[in-house]
A = this chain, B = another copy of it.
Amino acid sequence: MKQLTIILTLLLFANVNAQTDQDVLKTIYTQSLTNGKSYQWLDHLSNKIGGRLSGSENAEKAVQYTKSELEKLGLDKVWLQPVMVPKWVRGDKEVAHFITNSSTVDVNICALGGSIATPKNGLTAKVIEVQNFEELSVLGEEKIKGKIVFYNRPMQADLIQTFMAYGGCVNQRYAGAMEAIKYGAVGVIVRSMNLRQDDLPHTGSMSYGDLPNNQHIPSAAISTNDADKLSEALKKDSNLKFYFKQNCQQFDDVLSYNVIGEITGTEFPNQYMIVGGHLDSWDLGDGSHDDGAGVVQSMDVLRLLKESGIKPKHSIRVVLFMNEENGLRGGKKYSEEAKANKETHVFALESDAGGFTPRGFSFDCSDANFEKVLSWKPLFKPYLIHYFEKGGSGADVGPLKTTSNVLAGLRPDSQRYFDHHHAANDTFDAVNKRELELGAATMTSLIYLFDKYGVDNIPEVKEFKN
Protein backbone atom coordinates (compact mmCIF):
# COMPACT_ATOMS: atom_id res chain seq x y z
CA MET A 1 0.00 0.00 0.00
CA LYS A 2 2.81 2.34 0.91
CA GLN A 3 4.50 1.50 -2.39
CA LEU A 4 1.28 2.24 -4.24
CA THR A 5 0.99 5.59 -2.46
CA ILE A 6 4.54 6.47 -3.48
CA ILE A 7 3.86 5.45 -7.05
CA LEU A 8 0.63 7.45 -7.18
CA THR A 9 2.35 10.44 -5.63
CA LEU A 10 5.13 10.20 -8.20
CA LEU A 11 2.60 9.90 -11.01
CA LEU A 12 0.68 12.89 -9.71
CA PHE A 13 3.90 14.88 -9.42
CA ALA A 14 4.85 13.79 -12.93
CA ASN A 15 1.49 14.86 -14.26
CA VAL A 16 1.60 18.25 -12.57
CA ASN A 17 5.06 18.79 -13.94
CA ALA A 18 3.99 17.75 -17.44
CA GLN A 19 0.96 19.98 -17.27
CA THR A 20 3.06 22.90 -16.22
CA ASP A 21 5.53 22.50 -19.04
CA GLN A 22 2.69 22.18 -21.54
CA ASP A 23 1.18 25.38 -20.21
CA VAL A 24 4.47 27.21 -20.34
CA LEU A 25 5.09 26.15 -23.95
CA LYS A 26 1.56 27.21 -24.87
CA THR A 27 2.22 30.62 -23.32
CA ILE A 28 5.51 30.97 -25.15
CA TYR A 29 4.06 30.06 -28.57
CA THR A 30 1.00 32.25 -28.07
CA GLN A 31 3.18 35.19 -27.02
CA SER A 32 5.42 34.76 -30.05
CA LEU A 33 2.55 34.41 -32.54
CA THR A 34 0.38 37.20 -31.17
CA ASN A 35 2.86 39.58 -29.61
CA GLY A 36 6.25 38.69 -31.12
CA LYS A 37 8.90 41.29 -31.84
CA SER A 38 11.12 39.26 -34.15
CA TYR A 39 9.47 40.30 -37.42
CA GLN A 40 9.49 43.99 -36.54
CA TRP A 41 13.19 43.82 -35.63
CA LEU A 42 13.93 41.98 -38.86
CA ASP A 43 12.07 44.62 -40.83
CA HIS A 44 14.42 47.23 -39.41
CA LEU A 45 17.60 45.15 -39.84
CA SER A 46 16.69 44.25 -43.42
CA ASN A 47 14.89 47.29 -44.75
CA LYS A 48 16.33 50.15 -42.72
CA ILE A 49 19.90 48.82 -42.53
CA GLY A 50 20.35 46.11 -45.19
CA GLY A 51 23.27 43.80 -45.95
CA ARG A 52 25.76 43.76 -43.08
CA LEU A 53 29.11 42.59 -44.35
CA SER A 54 31.79 42.49 -41.63
CA GLY A 55 33.64 45.78 -41.36
CA SER A 56 30.96 47.74 -43.21
CA GLU A 57 29.05 50.77 -42.02
CA ASN A 58 25.86 48.69 -42.07
CA ALA A 59 27.40 46.08 -39.78
CA GLU A 60 28.22 48.86 -37.32
CA LYS A 61 24.65 50.20 -37.58
CA ALA A 62 23.33 46.72 -36.85
CA VAL A 63 25.55 46.52 -33.75
CA GLN A 64 24.20 49.82 -32.44
CA TYR A 65 20.59 49.04 -33.35
CA THR A 66 20.46 45.59 -31.74
CA LYS A 67 22.27 46.85 -28.64
CA SER A 68 19.76 49.66 -28.22
CA GLU A 69 16.81 47.28 -28.76
CA LEU A 70 18.19 44.81 -26.21
CA GLU A 71 18.59 47.70 -23.77
CA LYS A 72 14.85 48.32 -24.01
CA LEU A 73 14.04 44.80 -22.83
CA GLY A 74 14.97 45.27 -19.18
CA LEU A 75 17.69 42.61 -19.23
CA ASP A 76 20.20 42.51 -16.41
CA LYS A 77 23.14 43.38 -18.64
CA VAL A 78 23.73 44.45 -22.25
CA TRP A 79 27.22 45.04 -23.64
CA LEU A 80 29.47 45.00 -26.66
CA GLN A 81 32.40 42.61 -26.93
CA PRO A 82 35.12 44.05 -29.16
CA VAL A 83 36.49 41.86 -31.93
CA MET A 84 38.76 42.62 -34.89
CA VAL A 85 37.18 41.50 -38.17
CA PRO A 86 38.30 41.24 -41.79
CA LYS A 87 37.05 43.88 -44.17
CA TRP A 88 36.48 42.76 -47.73
CA VAL A 89 34.64 45.05 -50.14
CA ARG A 90 32.98 44.02 -53.39
CA GLY A 91 33.27 47.33 -55.24
CA ASP A 92 31.42 47.88 -58.52
CA LYS A 93 29.11 45.17 -59.77
CA GLU A 94 30.91 42.42 -61.61
CA VAL A 95 30.47 41.86 -65.34
CA ALA A 96 31.09 38.71 -67.36
CA HIS A 97 30.41 37.17 -70.73
CA PHE A 98 31.68 34.49 -73.00
CA ILE A 99 32.35 34.70 -76.71
CA THR A 100 31.59 31.79 -78.96
CA ASN A 101 31.12 31.73 -82.74
CA SER A 102 31.59 35.50 -82.69
CA SER A 103 28.50 35.98 -80.51
CA THR A 104 28.75 37.39 -76.98
CA VAL A 105 26.65 35.85 -74.21
CA ASP A 106 26.34 37.87 -71.00
CA VAL A 107 26.33 35.85 -67.78
CA ASN A 108 25.58 36.68 -64.14
CA ILE A 109 28.50 36.36 -61.76
CA CYS A 110 29.62 37.75 -58.43
CA ALA A 111 33.00 37.74 -56.76
CA LEU A 112 33.45 35.18 -54.01
CA GLY A 113 34.12 36.67 -50.59
CA GLY A 114 37.85 36.98 -50.06
CA SER A 115 38.70 36.86 -53.73
CA ILE A 116 41.07 39.30 -55.35
CA ALA A 117 39.94 41.54 -58.19
CA THR A 118 40.64 40.81 -61.82
CA PRO A 119 43.09 43.12 -63.58
CA LYS A 120 41.49 46.54 -64.06
CA ASN A 121 40.32 45.75 -67.59
CA GLY A 122 39.15 42.28 -66.69
CA LEU A 123 40.46 38.85 -67.43
CA THR A 124 39.91 36.83 -70.59
CA ALA A 125 40.88 33.18 -70.95
CA LYS A 126 39.79 29.81 -72.21
CA VAL A 127 37.71 27.68 -69.86
CA ILE A 128 38.16 24.15 -68.60
CA GLU A 129 35.09 22.61 -66.97
CA VAL A 130 35.48 20.13 -64.13
CA GLN A 131 33.25 18.47 -61.55
CA ASN A 132 35.78 18.02 -58.78
CA PHE A 133 39.40 18.26 -57.69
CA GLU A 134 40.21 14.73 -58.86
CA GLU A 135 39.46 15.77 -62.44
CA LEU A 136 41.91 18.64 -62.03
CA SER A 137 44.70 16.29 -61.11
CA VAL A 138 43.92 14.02 -64.05
CA LEU A 139 43.89 16.95 -66.48
CA GLY A 140 47.13 18.33 -65.00
CA GLU A 141 49.00 21.52 -65.70
CA GLU A 142 49.15 20.84 -69.42
CA LYS A 143 45.38 21.17 -69.86
CA ILE A 144 44.78 23.80 -67.17
CA LYS A 145 47.64 26.30 -67.27
CA GLY A 146 46.50 29.74 -68.41
CA LYS A 147 42.82 28.82 -68.27
CA ILE A 148 39.85 29.61 -66.08
CA VAL A 149 38.72 26.56 -64.13
CA PHE A 150 34.94 26.22 -64.16
CA TYR A 151 33.65 24.06 -61.29
CA ASN A 152 30.20 22.84 -62.28
CA ARG A 153 29.21 20.09 -59.86
CA PRO A 154 25.57 20.78 -58.96
CA MET A 155 23.95 20.33 -55.56
CA GLN A 156 22.48 16.84 -55.34
CA ALA A 157 18.72 17.25 -55.79
CA ASP A 158 17.68 13.92 -54.28
CA LEU A 159 19.06 14.70 -50.84
CA ILE A 160 16.11 15.62 -48.64
CA GLN A 161 18.21 17.70 -46.28
CA THR A 162 19.54 20.47 -48.47
CA PHE A 163 22.42 21.25 -46.10
CA MET A 164 23.79 17.82 -47.00
CA ALA A 165 23.66 18.80 -50.67
CA TYR A 166 25.42 22.05 -49.81
CA GLY A 167 28.08 20.17 -47.87
CA GLY A 168 28.66 17.99 -50.93
CA CYS A 169 29.46 20.98 -53.15
CA VAL A 170 30.91 23.80 -51.14
CA ASN A 171 34.53 22.67 -51.38
CA GLN A 172 34.42 23.88 -54.99
CA ARG A 173 33.70 27.38 -53.74
CA TYR A 174 35.89 27.43 -50.64
CA ALA A 175 38.98 25.62 -51.93
CA GLY A 176 38.48 25.78 -55.70
CA ALA A 177 41.03 28.54 -56.23
CA MET A 178 43.65 26.91 -53.98
CA GLU A 179 43.40 23.70 -55.98
CA ALA A 180 43.27 25.33 -59.41
CA ILE A 181 46.32 27.46 -58.66
CA LYS A 182 48.40 24.26 -58.33
CA TYR A 183 47.95 23.65 -62.06
CA GLY A 184 48.47 27.21 -63.27
CA ALA A 185 44.84 28.34 -63.63
CA VAL A 186 44.35 32.09 -64.00
CA GLY A 187 40.84 32.31 -62.59
CA VAL A 188 37.98 30.33 -61.11
CA ILE A 189 34.26 30.30 -61.89
CA VAL A 190 32.05 28.20 -59.57
CA ARG A 191 28.48 27.08 -60.16
CA SER A 192 26.34 28.79 -57.54
CA MET A 193 25.34 26.68 -54.54
CA ASN A 194 21.65 26.79 -55.46
CA LEU A 195 19.22 23.91 -55.98
CA ARG A 196 17.03 26.06 -58.21
CA GLN A 197 17.59 27.09 -61.79
CA ASP A 198 17.70 30.90 -61.89
CA ASP A 199 19.84 33.88 -62.84
CA LEU A 200 21.23 34.80 -59.41
CA PRO A 201 24.88 34.26 -58.53
CA HIS A 202 25.46 33.18 -54.91
CA THR A 203 28.55 34.47 -53.15
CA GLY A 204 30.23 32.92 -50.08
CA SER A 205 33.65 32.63 -48.55
CA MET A 206 36.69 31.25 -50.35
CA SER A 207 40.28 30.88 -49.24
CA TYR A 208 43.74 30.90 -50.78
CA GLY A 209 45.09 28.92 -47.82
CA ASP A 210 48.74 29.73 -47.21
CA LEU A 211 49.52 30.66 -50.79
CA PRO A 212 51.45 33.91 -51.18
CA ASN A 213 49.59 36.94 -52.55
CA ASN A 214 51.28 36.85 -55.93
CA GLN A 215 49.76 33.42 -56.61
CA HIS A 216 46.15 34.43 -55.90
CA ILE A 217 43.66 34.28 -58.78
CA PRO A 218 40.22 35.91 -59.04
CA SER A 219 37.26 33.68 -58.18
CA ALA A 220 33.60 34.19 -58.88
CA ALA A 221 30.26 32.39 -58.68
CA ILE A 222 28.03 32.05 -61.73
CA SER A 223 24.25 31.58 -61.66
CA THR A 224 22.86 28.06 -62.18
CA ASN A 225 21.18 29.06 -65.46
CA ASP A 226 24.40 30.58 -66.76
CA ALA A 227 26.48 27.62 -65.55
CA ASP A 228 24.30 25.39 -67.73
CA LYS A 229 24.55 27.85 -70.61
CA LEU A 230 28.35 27.95 -70.34
CA SER A 231 28.58 24.17 -70.07
CA GLU A 232 26.41 23.71 -73.18
CA ALA A 233 28.49 26.24 -75.10
CA LEU A 234 31.72 24.51 -74.07
CA LYS A 235 30.43 21.23 -75.50
CA LYS A 236 30.13 22.94 -78.88
CA ASP A 237 33.19 25.16 -78.64
CA SER A 238 35.82 24.10 -76.13
CA ASN A 239 37.95 27.08 -77.18
CA LEU A 240 35.40 29.74 -76.26
CA LYS A 241 36.74 32.75 -74.40
CA PHE A 242 35.37 33.79 -71.02
CA TYR A 243 35.71 37.36 -69.81
CA PHE A 244 35.09 38.66 -66.31
CA LYS A 245 35.82 41.78 -64.38
CA GLN A 246 35.51 42.21 -60.63
CA ASN A 247 36.69 44.98 -58.39
CA CYS A 248 36.77 43.58 -54.89
CA GLN A 249 39.39 44.48 -52.33
CA GLN A 250 40.68 43.22 -48.98
CA PHE A 251 41.45 45.94 -46.41
CA ASP A 252 43.11 45.76 -43.00
CA ASP A 253 41.08 44.30 -40.16
CA VAL A 254 38.74 46.72 -38.39
CA LEU A 255 37.21 46.88 -34.94
CA SER A 256 33.70 45.48 -34.58
CA TYR A 257 31.62 43.83 -31.86
CA ASN A 258 29.58 40.90 -30.68
CA VAL A 259 26.39 42.21 -29.06
CA ILE A 260 25.48 40.46 -25.81
CA GLY A 261 22.52 40.67 -23.44
CA GLU A 262 21.98 38.69 -20.25
CA ILE A 263 19.28 37.64 -17.83
CA THR A 264 21.23 36.65 -14.72
CA GLY A 265 20.26 33.27 -13.29
CA THR A 266 18.48 32.97 -9.95
CA GLU A 267 20.19 29.74 -8.84
CA PHE A 268 23.24 29.25 -11.03
CA PRO A 269 24.28 32.75 -12.10
CA ASN A 270 27.73 31.48 -13.06
CA GLN A 271 26.41 28.82 -15.41
CA TYR A 272 25.62 30.22 -18.83
CA MET A 273 23.13 29.16 -21.45
CA ILE A 274 23.40 31.11 -24.66
CA VAL A 275 21.26 31.60 -27.72
CA GLY A 276 22.47 33.40 -30.80
CA GLY A 277 22.74 34.08 -34.47
CA HIS A 278 25.19 36.10 -36.52
CA LEU A 279 24.77 39.79 -37.09
CA ASP A 280 26.94 40.02 -40.19
CA SER A 281 25.66 38.91 -43.59
CA TRP A 282 26.76 38.88 -47.17
CA ASP A 283 26.26 42.06 -49.14
CA LEU A 284 24.14 41.04 -52.15
CA GLY A 285 20.79 40.85 -50.35
CA ASP A 286 19.80 42.20 -46.97
CA GLY A 287 20.64 39.00 -45.08
CA SER A 288 17.09 38.37 -43.87
CA HIS A 289 17.36 34.59 -43.76
CA ASP A 290 21.14 34.45 -43.28
CA ASP A 291 21.13 35.37 -40.53
CA GLY A 292 18.85 38.27 -39.69
CA ALA A 293 16.27 35.64 -38.78
CA GLY A 294 18.57 33.99 -36.24
CA VAL A 295 19.49 37.36 -34.74
CA VAL A 296 15.92 38.53 -34.16
CA GLN A 297 14.72 35.10 -33.01
CA SER A 298 17.56 34.97 -30.46
CA MET A 299 16.73 38.47 -29.22
CA ASP A 300 13.10 37.46 -28.89
CA VAL A 301 14.01 34.37 -26.86
CA LEU A 302 15.06 36.58 -23.94
CA ARG A 303 12.04 38.85 -24.38
CA LEU A 304 9.68 35.85 -24.57
CA LEU A 305 11.19 34.34 -21.41
CA LYS A 306 10.46 37.61 -19.59
CA GLU A 307 6.99 38.06 -21.13
CA SER A 308 6.11 34.49 -20.19
CA GLY A 309 7.06 35.15 -16.56
CA ILE A 310 10.00 32.73 -16.60
CA LYS A 311 12.82 33.54 -14.20
CA PRO A 312 15.65 31.32 -15.38
CA LYS A 313 17.84 29.49 -12.90
CA HIS A 314 20.90 29.75 -15.14
CA SER A 315 22.19 32.96 -16.66
CA ILE A 316 20.74 33.20 -20.16
CA ARG A 317 22.63 35.22 -22.75
CA VAL A 318 21.72 36.28 -26.22
CA VAL A 319 24.89 36.60 -28.31
CA LEU A 320 24.77 38.28 -31.71
CA PHE A 321 28.00 37.17 -33.30
CA MET A 322 29.96 39.28 -35.76
CA ASN A 323 31.73 37.84 -38.82
CA GLU A 324 30.39 34.34 -39.14
CA GLU A 325 30.44 34.58 -42.92
CA ASN A 326 34.04 35.36 -43.64
CA GLY A 327 36.15 34.64 -40.59
CA LEU A 328 34.13 33.42 -37.61
CA ARG A 329 36.02 35.96 -35.56
CA GLY A 330 33.04 36.71 -33.32
CA GLY A 331 32.42 33.08 -32.43
CA LYS A 332 36.09 32.51 -31.72
CA LYS A 333 36.36 35.69 -29.66
CA TYR A 334 33.33 34.88 -27.53
CA SER A 335 34.69 31.43 -26.75
CA GLU A 336 38.19 32.77 -25.95
CA GLU A 337 36.78 35.33 -23.54
CA ALA A 338 34.52 32.73 -21.93
CA LYS A 339 37.57 30.54 -21.30
CA ALA A 340 39.69 33.44 -20.08
CA ASN A 341 36.94 34.45 -17.64
CA LYS A 342 36.37 30.83 -16.59
CA GLU A 343 32.69 31.07 -17.49
CA THR A 344 30.98 27.68 -17.59
CA HIS A 345 28.80 27.41 -20.69
CA VAL A 346 26.44 24.51 -20.13
CA PHE A 347 24.24 25.06 -23.17
CA ALA A 348 24.45 26.97 -26.46
CA LEU A 349 21.87 27.20 -29.24
CA GLU A 350 22.33 28.85 -32.62
CA SER A 351 19.75 29.71 -35.25
CA ASP A 352 21.58 30.01 -38.56
CA ALA A 353 19.60 27.98 -41.08
CA GLY A 354 16.97 30.48 -42.19
CA GLY A 355 13.72 31.82 -40.82
CA PHE A 356 11.53 29.05 -42.27
CA THR A 357 9.03 26.88 -40.37
CA PRO A 358 10.99 25.17 -37.59
CA ARG A 359 11.18 21.37 -37.65
CA GLY A 360 13.32 20.85 -34.55
CA PHE A 361 16.94 20.80 -33.53
CA SER A 362 20.23 19.11 -34.13
CA PHE A 363 22.27 18.33 -31.00
CA ASP A 364 25.95 17.98 -30.28
CA CYS A 365 25.89 16.34 -26.83
CA SER A 366 26.25 13.14 -24.81
CA ASP A 367 23.82 10.24 -25.17
CA ALA A 368 22.44 10.96 -21.71
CA ASN A 369 21.58 14.54 -22.57
CA PHE A 370 20.15 13.50 -25.91
CA GLU A 371 17.90 10.98 -24.13
CA LYS A 372 16.64 13.85 -22.02
CA VAL A 373 15.88 15.88 -25.13
CA LEU A 374 13.95 12.95 -26.59
CA SER A 375 11.85 12.81 -23.42
CA TRP A 376 10.62 16.32 -24.25
CA LYS A 377 9.39 15.40 -27.74
CA PRO A 378 5.74 15.04 -26.72
CA LEU A 379 5.76 18.61 -25.39
CA PHE A 380 6.68 19.86 -28.86
CA LYS A 381 4.22 17.74 -30.82
CA PRO A 382 1.35 20.29 -30.77
CA TYR A 383 3.72 22.71 -32.51
CA LEU A 384 4.63 20.18 -35.22
CA ILE A 385 8.21 20.14 -33.97
CA HIS A 386 9.41 16.62 -34.65
CA TYR A 387 13.07 16.71 -35.63
CA PHE A 388 15.46 15.87 -32.77
CA GLU A 389 18.65 14.36 -34.07
CA LYS A 390 22.27 14.19 -33.12
CA GLY A 391 24.49 16.27 -35.37
CA GLY A 392 26.07 19.69 -35.67
CA SER A 393 25.01 22.88 -33.93
CA GLY A 394 26.15 26.22 -35.36
CA ALA A 395 29.44 27.68 -36.55
CA ASP A 396 29.52 30.47 -33.95
CA VAL A 397 28.74 28.31 -30.92
CA GLY A 398 30.96 25.42 -32.06
CA PRO A 399 34.08 26.76 -30.31
CA LEU A 400 32.26 26.49 -26.94
CA LYS A 401 32.10 22.69 -27.13
CA THR A 402 33.21 20.79 -24.04
CA THR A 403 32.83 17.12 -23.16
CA SER A 404 29.86 17.82 -20.90
CA ASN A 405 27.87 20.69 -22.37
CA VAL A 406 25.07 20.67 -24.94
CA LEU A 407 25.26 22.54 -28.25
CA ALA A 408 22.24 22.78 -30.49
CA GLY A 409 21.17 24.24 -33.81
CA LEU A 410 17.64 25.17 -34.85
CA ARG A 411 16.58 23.13 -37.89
CA PRO A 412 13.93 24.90 -39.96
CA ASP A 413 12.47 23.53 -43.16
CA SER A 414 15.40 23.73 -45.57
CA GLN A 415 13.80 23.28 -49.01
CA ARG A 416 13.82 26.98 -50.00
CA TYR A 417 16.91 28.01 -48.08
CA PHE A 418 19.49 27.68 -50.83
CA ASP A 419 17.24 29.56 -53.28
CA HIS A 420 18.17 32.63 -51.21
CA HIS A 421 21.44 31.77 -49.47
CA HIS A 422 24.16 34.39 -50.11
CA ALA A 423 22.23 35.84 -53.08
CA ALA A 424 20.48 39.09 -53.93
CA ASN A 425 17.10 37.56 -53.10
CA ASP A 426 17.93 36.92 -49.44
CA THR A 427 15.51 39.68 -48.59
CA PHE A 428 12.77 40.49 -46.09
CA ASP A 429 9.89 39.53 -48.40
CA ALA A 430 11.19 35.93 -48.44
CA VAL A 431 10.61 35.61 -44.69
CA ASN A 432 7.15 34.68 -43.43
CA LYS A 433 6.18 36.30 -40.13
CA ARG A 434 4.55 33.22 -38.61
CA GLU A 435 7.37 30.90 -39.63
CA LEU A 436 9.90 33.26 -38.03
CA GLU A 437 7.82 33.52 -34.84
CA LEU A 438 7.35 29.76 -34.60
CA GLY A 439 11.14 29.46 -34.70
CA ALA A 440 11.58 31.98 -31.88
CA ALA A 441 8.99 30.16 -29.75
CA THR A 442 10.60 26.78 -30.42
CA MET A 443 14.00 28.10 -29.38
CA THR A 444 12.56 29.71 -26.26
CA SER A 445 10.85 26.45 -25.33
CA LEU A 446 14.09 24.48 -25.59
CA ILE A 447 15.94 27.03 -23.47
CA TYR A 448 13.14 26.95 -20.91
CA LEU A 449 13.37 23.16 -20.65
CA PHE A 450 17.15 23.03 -20.46
CA ASP A 451 17.16 25.77 -17.85
CA LYS A 452 14.55 23.97 -15.78
CA TYR A 453 15.99 20.47 -16.02
CA GLY A 454 19.66 21.25 -16.45
CA VAL A 455 22.09 19.49 -18.74
CA ASP A 456 22.49 16.43 -16.55
CA ASN A 457 20.29 13.38 -16.67
CA ILE A 458 17.65 14.18 -14.07
CA PRO A 459 15.37 11.21 -13.22
CA GLU A 460 12.17 13.19 -12.73
CA VAL A 461 11.90 14.10 -16.40
CA LYS A 462 11.90 10.44 -17.44
CA GLU A 463 8.11 10.32 -17.45
CA PHE A 464 8.01 12.38 -20.64
CA LYS A 465 9.90 9.68 -22.47
CA ASN A 466 8.17 8.86 -25.76
Q: Does A19 reach chain B (CB closer than 8 Å)?
A: no
- Residue from B34, B196, B359, B416 within 8 A of A157 (CB atoms): B34
Query: A433 to B384, Cβ gap below 8 A?
Result: no
Q: Does A6 reach chain B (CB closer than 8 Å)?
A: no
Q: Does A4 reach chain B (CB closer than 8 Å)?
A: no
Provide the residues of chain B in CB contact with A419, threshold 8 Å.
432
Provide the residues of chain B in CB contact with A432, threshold 8 Å.
415-416, 419
Chain A positions 342 through 360: 1 when the CB is less than 8 Å from some CB of chain B, otherwise 0: 0000000000000001010
A29, A158, A419: most-surrounded residue (chain B CB, <10 A): A158
Query: B434 to A195, Cβ gap below 8 A?
Result: yes
Provide the residues of chain B in CB contact with A29, threshold 8 Å.
158, 160
Provide the residues of chain B in CB contact with A33, threshold 8 Å.
157-158
Provide the residues of chain B in CB contact with A195, threshold 8 Å.
434
Q: Which residue of B lies closest to A195 (CB)?
A: B434
Q: Does A382 reach chain B (CB closer than 8 Å)?
A: yes
Query: B433 to A196, Cβ gap below 8 A?
Result: yes
- Residue from B157, B161, B357, B383 within 8 A of A413 (CB atoms): B357
Provide the residues of chain B in CB contact with A416, threshold 8 Å.
432, 434-435
Provide the residues of chain B in CB contact with A438, threshold 8 Å.
160, 415
Docked CA distance A16–B157 (Å): 28
Copies in the complex: 2
Docked CA distance A57–B34 (Å): 43
A residues 299-331 touching B (CB-CB < 8 Å): none
Chain A positions 426 through 440: 1 when the CB is less than 8 Å from some CB of chain B, otherwise 0: 000000111100100
Q: Which residue of B lies closest to A437 (CB)?
A: B157
Docked CA distance A157–B32 (Å): 10
Docked CA distance A161–B34 (Å): 14
Q: Which residue of B lies closest to A160 (CB)?
A: B383
Provide the residues of chain B in CB contact with A413, threshold 8 Å.
357, 413
Docked CA distance A29–B159 (Å): 9
A residues 380-414 touching B (CB-CB < 8 Å): 382-384, 386-387, 413
Q: Does A81 reach chain B (CB closer than 8 Å)?
A: no
Q: Which residue of B lies closest to A161 (CB)?
A: B384
Q: Which residue of B lies closest to A436 (CB)?
A: B415
Q: Which residue of B lies closest to A413 (CB)?
A: B357
Docked CA distance A416–B415 (Å): 14
Provide the residues of chain B in CB contact with A359, threshold 8 Å.
384
Q: Does A30 reach chain B (CB closer than 8 Å)?
A: yes
Docked CA distance A357–B435 (Å): 13
Docked CA distance A419–B432 (Å): 9
Within the complex, what minimum Cβ distance (angstroms) separates A168 from chain B? 15
Query: B157 to A434, Cβ gap below 8 A?
Result: yes
A residues 1-60 touching B (CB-CB < 8 Å): 29-30, 33-34
Interface residues of A (CB under 8 A from B): 29-30, 33-34, 157-158, 160-162, 195-196, 357, 359, 382-384, 386-387, 413, 415-416, 419, 432-435, 438
A-B contact pairs, 14 of them (CB 8 A): A157-B434, A160-B382, A160-B383, A161-B384, A162-B434, A195-B434, A196-B433, A357-B357, A357-B413, A359-B384, A384-B387, A415-B432, A415-B435, A415-B438
Knowing that A160-B382, A386-B386 are A-B contacts, what are 4 other residue pairs whose CB atoms are under 8 Å apart, sorted by A's residue number?
A33-B157, A34-B158, A162-B434, A416-B434
5 smallest A-B Cβ distances: which pairs?
A: A386-B386, A30-B158, A415-B434, A33-B158, A33-B157
